[in-house]
Chain A
Amino acid sequence: MIVAGCDVGSLTSKAIIMDDGKMLNSVIIKSKARPWESADEVMKAALDGAGVSMKDVKYCVGTGYGRDKMTFINEAITEIACHGRGARWLLPTAMTVIDIGGQDCKAMRLDADGKMVRFMTNDKCASGTGRFLEVMARVLGIGLGELGEMSARARAPITMASACTVWAQADVIAHLNNKVPLEDIAAGVNNAMASRMAVLANSVGVERDVCMTGGVAKNDGVVTGLEKLLGVRIKRIRRSDPQMAGAIGAALFAQDRANGGSR
Protein backbone atom coordinates (compact mmCIF):
# COMPACT_ATOMS: atom_id res chain seq x y z
CA MET A 1 0.00 0.00 0.00
CA ILE A 2 1.39 3.35 -1.08
CA VAL A 3 1.14 6.46 1.09
CA ALA A 4 2.82 9.89 0.92
CA GLY A 5 3.97 12.69 3.21
CA CYS A 6 4.64 16.25 2.10
CA ASP A 7 6.38 18.92 4.22
CA VAL A 8 6.43 22.46 2.82
CA GLY A 9 8.78 24.65 4.85
CA SER A 10 9.86 28.24 4.45
CA LEU A 11 13.09 27.37 2.67
CA THR A 12 12.78 23.79 1.47
CA SER A 13 9.94 21.44 0.60
CA LYS A 14 10.13 17.71 1.07
CA ALA A 15 8.03 14.77 -0.13
CA ILE A 16 8.29 11.09 0.53
CA ILE A 17 6.54 8.06 -0.95
CA MET A 18 6.27 4.93 1.19
CA ASP A 19 5.11 1.44 0.29
CA ASP A 20 4.20 -0.80 3.24
CA GLY A 21 6.59 1.08 5.51
CA LYS A 22 9.45 1.05 3.02
CA MET A 23 10.75 4.26 1.56
CA LEU A 24 10.31 4.30 -2.21
CA ASN A 25 11.56 7.78 -2.90
CA SER A 26 12.23 11.09 -1.20
CA VAL A 27 12.83 14.52 -2.71
CA ILE A 28 13.92 17.91 -1.34
CA ILE A 29 13.51 21.10 -3.36
CA LYS A 30 14.00 24.77 -2.59
CA SER A 31 10.63 26.30 -1.74
CA LYS A 32 8.95 28.62 -4.22
CA ALA A 33 7.19 31.89 -3.42
CA ARG A 34 3.80 30.15 -3.23
CA PRO A 35 3.53 27.15 -0.92
CA TRP A 36 1.04 25.28 -3.15
CA GLU A 37 3.49 25.51 -6.08
CA SER A 38 6.21 24.03 -3.88
CA ALA A 39 3.88 21.24 -2.77
CA ASP A 40 2.82 20.37 -6.33
CA GLU A 41 6.39 20.38 -7.63
CA VAL A 42 8.00 18.35 -4.86
CA MET A 43 5.20 15.80 -4.84
CA LYS A 44 5.35 15.35 -8.61
CA ALA A 45 9.13 14.82 -8.42
CA ALA A 46 8.72 12.27 -5.63
CA LEU A 47 5.99 10.37 -7.48
CA ASP A 48 7.91 10.39 -10.78
CA GLY A 49 11.05 9.12 -9.07
CA ALA A 50 9.09 6.31 -7.43
CA GLY A 51 7.45 5.43 -10.73
CA VAL A 52 3.93 5.84 -9.37
CA SER A 53 1.13 8.35 -9.87
CA MET A 54 -1.07 10.26 -7.45
CA LYS A 55 -3.88 7.77 -8.11
CA ASP A 56 -1.74 5.01 -6.55
CA VAL A 57 -1.38 6.96 -3.32
CA LYS A 58 -3.94 5.66 -0.81
CA TYR A 59 -3.49 8.48 1.71
CA CYS A 60 -1.40 11.63 1.79
CA VAL A 61 -0.62 13.83 4.82
CA GLY A 62 0.68 17.38 4.52
CA THR A 63 2.68 19.27 7.12
CA GLY A 64 4.90 22.33 7.50
CA TYR A 65 3.91 25.96 7.30
CA GLY A 66 2.36 25.48 3.85
CA ARG A 67 0.22 22.50 4.84
CA ASP A 68 -3.13 24.28 4.60
CA LYS A 69 -2.44 25.35 1.01
CA MET A 70 -1.87 21.88 -0.41
CA THR A 71 -4.51 20.73 -2.88
CA PHE A 72 -3.77 16.99 -3.07
CA ILE A 73 -3.62 15.93 0.58
CA ASN A 74 -6.20 13.96 2.56
CA GLU A 75 -5.27 15.61 5.82
CA ALA A 76 -2.97 18.25 7.32
CA ILE A 77 -1.12 17.47 10.58
CA THR A 78 0.99 19.87 12.64
CA GLU A 79 4.74 20.03 12.16
CA ILE A 80 5.37 19.22 15.80
CA ALA A 81 3.47 15.94 15.64
CA CYS A 82 5.09 14.98 12.34
CA HIS A 83 8.62 15.89 13.46
CA GLY A 84 8.30 13.87 16.65
CA ARG A 85 6.95 10.89 14.77
CA GLY A 86 9.58 11.15 12.04
CA ALA A 87 12.43 11.54 14.53
CA ARG A 88 11.37 8.33 16.30
CA TRP A 89 11.42 6.47 13.01
CA LEU A 90 14.86 7.87 12.20
CA LEU A 91 16.17 7.06 15.69
CA PRO A 92 13.90 4.68 17.65
CA THR A 93 15.70 5.45 20.95
CA ALA A 94 15.25 9.24 20.67
CA MET A 95 13.89 10.93 23.80
CA THR A 96 15.02 14.48 22.97
CA VAL A 97 14.74 15.90 19.46
CA ILE A 98 16.25 19.18 18.36
CA ASP A 99 14.96 20.32 15.03
CA ILE A 100 16.35 23.37 13.26
CA GLY A 101 14.38 24.63 10.34
CA GLY A 102 15.02 27.46 7.95
CA GLN A 103 13.08 29.97 10.03
CA ASP A 104 12.50 28.28 13.35
CA CYS A 105 13.90 25.83 15.83
CA LYS A 106 12.18 23.37 18.11
CA ALA A 107 13.19 21.25 21.05
CA MET A 108 10.95 18.28 21.83
CA ARG A 109 10.88 15.72 24.60
CA LEU A 110 9.23 12.41 23.80
CA ASP A 111 7.99 9.76 26.19
CA ALA A 112 8.67 6.03 25.82
CA ASP A 113 5.79 5.70 23.36
CA GLY A 114 7.06 8.53 21.19
CA LYS A 115 4.41 10.96 22.36
CA MET A 116 5.41 14.59 22.74
CA VAL A 117 5.58 15.54 26.42
CA ARG A 118 7.40 18.84 26.28
CA PHE A 119 7.98 21.31 23.54
CA MET A 120 9.69 24.66 23.05
CA THR A 121 10.00 26.65 19.88
CA ASN A 122 11.52 29.86 18.62
CA ASP A 123 10.17 31.39 15.48
CA LYS A 124 10.35 35.01 16.61
CA CYS A 125 14.07 35.64 16.30
CA ALA A 126 16.27 34.61 13.38
CA SER A 127 19.14 33.81 15.70
CA GLY A 128 19.22 30.09 16.41
CA THR A 129 17.42 29.22 13.18
CA GLY A 130 18.72 28.10 9.79
CA ARG A 131 18.41 31.69 8.67
CA PHE A 132 21.27 32.71 10.95
CA LEU A 133 23.64 30.28 9.22
CA GLU A 134 22.34 31.28 5.82
CA VAL A 135 23.06 34.95 6.44
CA MET A 136 26.53 34.18 7.83
CA ALA A 137 27.43 31.87 4.94
CA ARG A 138 26.43 34.63 2.52
CA VAL A 139 28.61 37.17 4.33
CA LEU A 140 31.52 34.69 4.27
CA GLY A 141 30.90 34.05 0.58
CA ILE A 142 30.64 30.29 1.05
CA GLY A 143 27.87 27.75 0.57
CA LEU A 144 25.66 26.85 3.51
CA GLY A 145 26.87 23.25 3.19
CA GLU A 146 30.51 24.30 3.59
CA LEU A 147 30.13 25.80 7.07
CA GLY A 148 30.38 22.45 8.84
CA GLU A 149 33.48 21.05 7.14
CA MET A 150 35.17 24.42 7.22
CA SER A 151 34.80 24.77 10.98
CA ALA A 152 36.43 21.34 11.45
CA ARG A 153 39.68 22.91 10.20
CA ALA A 154 39.52 25.89 12.59
CA ARG A 155 42.50 26.58 14.82
CA ALA A 156 41.26 29.47 16.92
CA PRO A 157 37.47 29.86 16.65
CA ILE A 158 36.25 33.41 17.14
CA THR A 159 33.74 34.27 19.85
CA MET A 160 30.71 36.10 18.55
CA ALA A 161 29.90 39.17 20.62
CA SER A 162 26.16 39.14 19.95
CA ALA A 163 23.42 36.63 19.29
CA CYS A 164 21.33 38.93 17.08
CA THR A 165 21.75 38.02 13.41
CA VAL A 166 22.01 41.69 12.45
CA TRP A 167 24.81 42.46 14.91
CA ALA A 168 26.54 39.12 14.30
CA GLN A 169 26.70 39.98 10.63
CA ALA A 170 28.58 43.18 11.47
CA ASP A 171 30.83 41.11 13.76
CA VAL A 172 31.68 38.68 10.98
CA ILE A 173 32.41 41.51 8.56
CA ALA A 174 34.79 43.07 11.12
CA HIS A 175 36.59 39.72 11.52
CA LEU A 176 36.86 39.39 7.74
CA ASN A 177 38.34 42.88 7.55
CA ASN A 178 40.85 41.89 10.23
CA LYS A 179 41.89 38.96 8.02
CA VAL A 180 40.78 36.29 10.49
CA PRO A 181 40.84 32.91 8.65
CA LEU A 182 37.45 31.87 7.27
CA GLU A 183 37.67 28.55 9.14
CA ASP A 184 37.92 30.32 12.50
CA ILE A 185 34.96 32.57 11.68
CA ALA A 186 32.90 29.58 10.47
CA ALA A 187 33.62 27.75 13.71
CA GLY A 188 32.57 30.81 15.71
CA VAL A 189 29.33 31.01 13.73
CA ASN A 190 28.58 27.33 14.36
CA ASN A 191 29.37 27.68 18.07
CA ALA A 192 27.05 30.69 18.33
CA MET A 193 24.32 28.64 16.70
CA ALA A 194 24.98 25.73 19.05
CA SER A 195 24.78 27.93 22.12
CA ARG A 196 21.34 29.17 21.10
CA MET A 197 20.23 25.57 20.55
CA ALA A 198 21.57 24.55 23.94
CA VAL A 199 19.41 27.13 25.70
CA LEU A 200 16.33 25.84 23.93
CA ALA A 201 17.22 22.16 24.52
CA ASN A 202 17.86 22.74 28.22
CA SER A 203 14.49 24.42 28.55
CA VAL A 204 12.73 21.12 27.77
CA GLY A 205 15.24 19.06 29.78
CA VAL A 206 17.72 16.91 27.89
CA GLU A 207 17.27 13.16 28.17
CA ARG A 208 19.20 10.55 26.18
CA ASP A 209 19.14 9.61 23.39
CA VAL A 210 19.36 13.01 21.79
CA CYS A 211 19.06 13.50 18.05
CA MET A 212 18.99 16.40 15.67
CA THR A 213 16.73 16.76 12.67
CA GLY A 214 16.33 19.43 10.02
CA GLY A 215 18.90 20.65 7.54
CA VAL A 216 21.27 22.03 10.17
CA ALA A 217 21.79 18.47 11.52
CA LYS A 218 24.03 17.99 8.47
CA ASN A 219 26.38 20.69 9.77
CA ASP A 220 28.77 18.76 11.98
CA GLY A 221 30.25 21.95 13.42
CA VAL A 222 26.92 22.82 15.04
CA VAL A 223 26.28 19.22 16.15
CA THR A 224 29.67 18.78 17.87
CA GLY A 225 29.42 22.28 19.36
CA LEU A 226 26.04 21.36 20.84
CA GLU A 227 27.41 18.04 22.17
CA LYS A 228 30.08 19.97 24.07
CA LEU A 229 27.57 22.43 25.51
CA LEU A 230 25.01 19.80 26.53
CA GLY A 231 27.61 17.28 27.69
CA VAL A 232 25.87 14.42 25.87
CA ARG A 233 26.51 12.63 22.63
CA ILE A 234 24.08 13.44 19.85
CA LYS A 235 23.19 10.31 17.90
CA ARG A 236 23.80 10.78 14.21
CA ILE A 237 20.90 9.83 11.98
CA ARG A 238 21.81 7.33 9.26
CA ARG A 239 18.48 5.81 8.26
CA SER A 240 17.59 8.73 6.01
CA ASP A 241 18.25 12.41 5.49
CA PRO A 242 17.58 14.21 8.83
CA GLN A 243 15.96 17.00 6.83
CA MET A 244 13.18 14.54 5.88
CA ALA A 245 11.92 14.02 9.46
CA GLY A 246 8.71 16.04 9.04
CA ALA A 247 7.78 14.41 5.71
CA ILE A 248 8.56 10.95 7.11
CA GLY A 249 6.32 11.60 10.11
CA ALA A 250 3.58 12.77 7.73
CA ALA A 251 3.92 9.59 5.64
CA LEU A 252 3.79 7.43 8.79
CA PHE A 253 0.57 9.15 9.87
CA ALA A 254 -0.76 8.58 6.34
CA GLN A 255 0.02 4.88 6.71
CA ASP A 256 -1.89 4.74 10.01
CA ARG A 257 -4.90 6.41 8.44
CA ALA A 258 -4.81 4.19 5.37
CA ASN A 259 -4.75 1.19 7.70
CA GLY A 260 -7.90 2.49 9.31
CA GLY A 261 -6.29 4.28 12.23
CA SER A 262 -8.48 6.93 13.87
CA ARG A 263 -7.84 10.62 13.41
Chain B
Amino acid sequence: MIVAGCDIGSLTAKAVILKDGKVAASAVIRAKTNPEASAREVMDLALGKAGLAMESIAYCVGTGYGRKHIPFVTDVESEIACHGKGAVWQVPSARTVVDIGGQDCKAIKVDANGGVMRYVYNDKCASGTGRFLEIIADALEVKLEDMGGLAAQSKKKLTLSNQCVVFAETEIISLVSEGAEAADIVRALHHAVANRAASLAKSIMVESDVVMSGGVARNPGMFGALGEALGVTLHSLEDPQINGALGAALFAQERAKQ
Protein backbone atom coordinates (compact mmCIF):
# COMPACT_ATOMS: atom_id res chain seq x y z
CA MET B 1 0.00 0.00 0.00
CA ILE B 2 1.28 3.44 -0.93
CA VAL B 3 0.49 6.52 1.17
CA ALA B 4 1.91 10.03 1.45
CA GLY B 5 2.38 12.92 3.85
CA CYS B 6 2.83 16.52 2.84
CA ASP B 7 4.05 19.24 5.21
CA ILE B 8 3.76 22.85 4.01
CA GLY B 9 5.79 25.02 6.35
CA SER B 10 6.54 28.71 6.29
CA LEU B 11 9.95 28.34 4.70
CA THR B 12 10.06 24.85 3.24
CA ALA B 13 7.62 22.27 1.90
CA LYS B 14 8.21 18.58 2.52
CA ALA B 15 6.70 15.35 1.18
CA VAL B 16 7.21 11.71 2.18
CA ILE B 17 5.94 8.63 0.36
CA LEU B 18 5.57 5.37 2.29
CA LYS B 19 5.37 2.07 0.47
CA ASP B 20 4.35 -0.92 2.62
CA GLY B 21 5.51 0.87 5.78
CA LYS B 22 8.88 1.92 4.42
CA VAL B 23 10.02 5.33 3.19
CA ALA B 24 10.04 5.09 -0.61
CA ALA B 25 10.99 8.71 -1.24
CA SER B 26 11.08 12.14 0.32
CA ALA B 27 11.53 15.67 -0.97
CA VAL B 28 12.16 19.13 0.44
CA ILE B 29 11.78 22.41 -1.47
CA ARG B 30 11.86 26.06 -0.49
CA ALA B 31 8.26 27.20 -0.02
CA LYS B 32 6.68 29.45 -2.63
CA THR B 33 4.32 32.30 -1.78
CA ASN B 34 1.43 30.13 -2.93
CA PRO B 35 1.11 27.08 -0.65
CA GLU B 36 -0.85 25.17 -3.31
CA ALA B 37 2.02 25.52 -5.77
CA SER B 38 4.52 24.44 -3.07
CA ALA B 39 2.44 21.35 -2.34
CA ARG B 40 2.16 20.29 -5.98
CA GLU B 41 5.85 20.81 -6.68
CA VAL B 42 7.18 18.98 -3.64
CA MET B 43 4.77 16.08 -4.12
CA ASP B 44 5.66 15.77 -7.82
CA LEU B 45 9.33 15.72 -6.85
CA ALA B 46 8.80 12.94 -4.29
CA LEU B 47 6.60 10.95 -6.72
CA GLY B 48 9.28 11.33 -9.40
CA LYS B 49 11.98 9.99 -7.07
CA ALA B 50 9.79 7.03 -6.14
CA GLY B 51 8.82 6.46 -9.78
CA LEU B 52 5.15 6.69 -8.91
CA ALA B 53 2.13 8.65 -10.09
CA MET B 54 -0.34 10.55 -7.93
CA GLU B 55 -3.02 7.96 -8.73
CA SER B 56 -1.11 5.27 -6.88
CA ILE B 57 -1.35 7.14 -3.53
CA ALA B 58 -4.10 5.47 -1.53
CA TYR B 59 -4.25 8.12 1.17
CA CYS B 60 -2.50 11.44 1.71
CA VAL B 61 -2.43 13.51 4.91
CA GLY B 62 -1.47 17.18 4.90
CA THR B 63 0.11 19.11 7.74
CA GLY B 64 1.99 22.35 8.44
CA TYR B 65 0.71 25.87 8.45
CA GLY B 66 -0.33 25.63 4.78
CA ARG B 67 -2.17 22.32 5.23
CA LYS B 68 -5.60 23.73 4.41
CA HIS B 69 -4.40 24.78 0.95
CA ILE B 70 -3.07 21.44 -0.24
CA PRO B 71 -5.40 20.39 -3.08
CA PHE B 72 -4.71 16.64 -3.18
CA VAL B 73 -4.92 15.54 0.46
CA THR B 74 -7.47 13.09 1.82
CA ASP B 75 -7.43 14.86 5.17
CA VAL B 76 -5.23 16.96 7.44
CA GLU B 77 -3.55 16.59 10.83
CA SER B 78 -1.90 19.10 13.18
CA GLU B 79 1.85 19.64 13.05
CA ILE B 80 2.11 18.73 16.73
CA ALA B 81 0.53 15.32 16.17
CA CYS B 82 2.63 14.67 13.06
CA HIS B 83 5.93 15.60 14.68
CA GLY B 84 5.16 13.36 17.67
CA LYS B 85 4.18 10.49 15.43
CA GLY B 86 7.19 10.81 13.13
CA ALA B 87 9.71 11.05 15.96
CA VAL B 88 8.52 7.95 17.85
CA TRP B 89 8.42 5.92 14.65
CA GLN B 90 12.06 6.83 14.03
CA VAL B 91 13.26 6.72 17.66
CA PRO B 92 10.86 4.45 19.61
CA SER B 93 12.34 5.54 22.97
CA ALA B 94 11.57 9.20 22.29
CA ARG B 95 9.35 10.85 24.92
CA THR B 96 10.02 14.51 24.16
CA VAL B 97 10.31 16.13 20.75
CA VAL B 98 11.72 19.63 20.36
CA ASP B 99 11.03 21.06 16.94
CA ILE B 100 12.55 24.33 15.80
CA GLY B 101 10.92 25.42 12.58
CA GLY B 102 11.36 28.43 10.36
CA GLN B 103 8.82 30.56 12.21
CA ASP B 104 7.92 28.64 15.31
CA CYS B 105 9.21 26.38 18.04
CA LYS B 106 7.43 23.54 19.77
CA ALA B 107 8.08 20.98 22.47
CA ILE B 108 5.92 17.88 22.51
CA LYS B 109 5.69 15.10 25.09
CA VAL B 110 4.63 11.80 23.57
CA ASP B 111 3.67 8.29 24.69
CA ALA B 112 5.14 5.06 23.31
CA ASN B 113 2.75 5.17 20.34
CA GLY B 114 3.68 8.71 19.44
CA GLY B 115 0.42 10.05 20.89
CA VAL B 116 0.64 13.63 22.15
CA MET B 117 0.45 13.94 25.96
CA ARG B 118 1.35 17.60 26.34
CA TYR B 119 2.83 20.33 24.20
CA VAL B 120 3.91 23.93 24.23
CA TYR B 121 4.21 26.17 21.24
CA ASN B 122 5.70 29.57 20.42
CA ASP B 123 4.93 31.46 17.27
CA LYS B 124 4.55 34.86 18.93
CA CYS B 125 8.21 35.77 19.25
CA ALA B 126 10.84 35.22 16.55
CA SER B 127 13.53 34.46 19.10
CA GLY B 128 13.95 30.68 19.46
CA THR B 129 12.84 30.06 15.87
CA GLY B 130 14.74 29.47 12.65
CA ARG B 131 14.01 33.06 11.68
CA PHE B 132 16.54 34.24 14.29
CA LEU B 133 19.26 32.23 12.52
CA GLU B 134 18.14 33.46 9.11
CA ILE B 135 18.22 37.15 10.04
CA ILE B 136 21.67 36.90 11.57
CA ALA B 137 22.96 34.80 8.64
CA ASP B 138 21.87 37.68 6.39
CA ALA B 139 23.50 40.28 8.62
CA LEU B 140 26.77 38.32 8.72
CA GLU B 141 26.51 37.44 5.03
CA VAL B 142 26.95 33.74 5.66
CA LYS B 143 24.78 30.97 4.28
CA LEU B 144 22.33 29.38 6.68
CA GLU B 145 23.68 25.93 5.85
CA ASP B 146 27.26 27.03 6.54
CA MET B 147 26.53 28.21 10.09
CA GLY B 148 27.07 24.84 11.79
CA GLY B 149 30.51 24.39 10.20
CA LEU B 150 31.45 27.96 10.98
CA ALA B 151 30.52 27.67 14.66
CA ALA B 152 32.69 24.55 14.93
CA GLN B 153 35.72 26.75 14.18
CA SER B 154 34.97 29.05 17.09
CA LYS B 155 37.89 29.59 19.46
CA LYS B 156 36.54 32.22 21.80
CA LYS B 157 33.38 32.02 23.82
CA LEU B 158 31.00 34.93 23.34
CA THR B 159 27.59 35.43 24.92
CA LEU B 160 24.82 37.52 23.42
CA SER B 161 23.18 39.71 26.02
CA ASN B 162 19.98 40.21 24.02
CA GLN B 163 17.27 37.61 23.55
CA CYS B 164 15.16 39.73 21.20
CA VAL B 165 16.08 39.18 17.53
CA VAL B 166 15.88 42.89 16.75
CA PHE B 167 18.16 43.87 19.62
CA ALA B 168 20.49 40.91 19.04
CA GLU B 169 20.95 41.96 15.43
CA THR B 170 22.17 45.38 16.58
CA GLU B 171 24.40 43.75 19.18
CA ILE B 172 25.90 41.47 16.54
CA ILE B 173 26.53 44.36 14.15
CA SER B 174 28.50 46.14 16.87
CA LEU B 175 30.37 42.92 17.71
CA VAL B 176 31.39 42.70 14.05
CA SER B 177 32.54 46.32 14.03
CA GLU B 178 34.58 45.63 17.15
CA GLY B 179 36.36 42.89 15.23
CA ALA B 180 34.72 39.77 16.71
CA GLU B 181 35.10 36.60 14.63
CA ALA B 182 32.04 35.40 12.71
CA ALA B 183 32.64 31.86 14.02
CA ASP B 184 32.45 33.04 17.64
CA ILE B 185 29.35 35.11 16.94
CA VAL B 186 27.56 32.23 15.23
CA ARG B 187 28.32 29.91 18.14
CA ALA B 188 26.95 32.49 20.57
CA LEU B 189 23.88 32.82 18.35
CA HIS B 190 23.29 29.04 18.42
CA HIS B 191 23.34 29.15 22.20
CA ALA B 192 20.93 32.09 22.28
CA VAL B 193 18.41 30.30 20.03
CA ALA B 194 18.87 27.03 21.93
CA ASN B 195 18.39 28.68 25.33
CA ARG B 196 15.14 30.21 24.21
CA ALA B 197 13.85 26.91 22.78
CA ALA B 198 15.04 25.04 25.89
CA SER B 199 13.20 27.35 28.27
CA LEU B 200 10.03 26.70 26.28
CA ALA B 201 10.63 22.93 26.41
CA LYS B 202 11.43 22.97 30.13
CA SER B 203 8.00 24.47 30.83
CA ILE B 204 6.45 21.07 30.05
CA MET B 205 9.14 19.07 31.95
CA VAL B 206 11.45 17.45 29.46
CA GLU B 207 11.52 13.65 29.69
CA SER B 208 14.21 11.45 28.09
CA ASP B 209 14.78 10.39 25.41
CA VAL B 210 14.71 13.74 23.68
CA VAL B 211 14.64 14.10 19.91
CA MET B 212 15.24 17.27 17.95
CA SER B 213 13.28 17.63 14.74
CA GLY B 214 12.83 20.36 12.14
CA GLY B 215 15.22 21.80 9.58
CA VAL B 216 17.24 23.62 12.23
CA ALA B 217 18.32 20.23 13.66
CA ARG B 218 20.44 19.70 10.55
CA ASN B 219 22.74 22.39 11.86
CA PRO B 220 25.20 20.49 14.12
CA GLY B 221 25.94 23.68 16.05
CA MET B 222 22.29 24.08 16.94
CA PHE B 223 21.94 20.38 17.73
CA GLY B 224 24.85 20.55 20.18
CA ALA B 225 23.71 23.83 21.71
CA LEU B 226 20.18 22.55 22.33
CA GLY B 227 21.46 19.39 23.99
CA GLU B 228 23.65 21.52 26.24
CA ALA B 229 20.82 23.94 27.05
CA LEU B 230 18.50 21.06 27.96
CA GLY B 231 21.22 19.15 29.80
CA VAL B 232 20.45 15.93 27.94
CA THR B 233 21.94 13.83 25.17
CA LEU B 234 19.78 14.57 22.18
CA HIS B 235 18.83 11.85 19.73
CA SER B 236 19.26 12.70 16.12
CA LEU B 237 16.93 11.82 13.28
CA GLU B 238 18.19 10.68 9.91
CA ASP B 239 16.44 13.57 8.20
CA PRO B 240 14.93 15.84 10.87
CA GLN B 241 13.42 18.20 8.33
CA ILE B 242 10.97 15.62 6.96
CA ASN B 243 9.78 14.44 10.39
CA GLY B 244 6.44 16.26 10.12
CA ALA B 245 5.73 14.94 6.63
CA LEU B 246 6.73 11.46 7.78
CA GLY B 247 4.29 11.70 10.68
CA ALA B 248 1.59 12.78 8.24
CA ALA B 249 2.37 9.78 6.02
CA LEU B 250 2.14 7.47 9.08
CA PHE B 251 -1.33 8.87 9.84
CA ALA B 252 -2.23 8.29 6.19
CA GLN B 253 -1.12 4.67 6.54
CA GLU B 254 -3.25 4.11 9.65
CA ARG B 255 -6.28 5.72 8.06
CA ALA B 256 -5.94 3.90 4.78
CA LYS B 257 -6.16 0.61 6.67
CA GLN B 258 -9.37 1.56 8.47
Contact = CB atoms under 8 A, between A and B. Distances in A.
Interface of A: 33, 103, 124-126, 131, 135, 162-167
B174 A165 contact: no
B164 A126 contact: yes
Interface stretch (B70-78, B124-132, B219-227): B124-132
Interface of B: 103, 124-126, 131, 135, 162-167, 174, 177
Contacts of A162: 124
A125 B124 CA distance: 12
A36 to B, nearest CB: 15
Given A33-B174, A103-B167, A166 B124 contact: no
11 contacts: A103-B167, A124-B164, A126-B164, A126-B165, A126-B166, A164-B125, A165-B126, A165-B165, A166-B166, A167-B124, A167-B126
Contacts of B166: 126, 131, 135, 165-166
A103 B163 CA distance: 13
A121 to B, nearest CB: 14
Given A33-B174, A166-B131, A166-B135, A124 B163 contact: yes
Contacts of A166: 126, 131, 135, 165-166
A165 B131 CA distance: 12
Contacts of B125: 125, 164
A103 B74 CA distance: 49
Nearest to B162: A124
B164 A163 contact: no
Contacts of B165: 126, 164-166
B1 to A, nearest CB: 40
Contacts of B135: 166
Contacts of A167: 103, 124, 126
A225 B135 CA distance: 31
A108 B132 CA distance: 32
A126 B126 CA distance: 11
Contacts of B126: 164-167
Given A33-B177, A164-B125, A165-B126, 12 more contacts: A124-B163, A124-B164, A125-B125, A125-B164, A126-B165, A131-B167, A162-B124, A163-B124, A164-B124, A164-B165, A166-B165, A166-B166
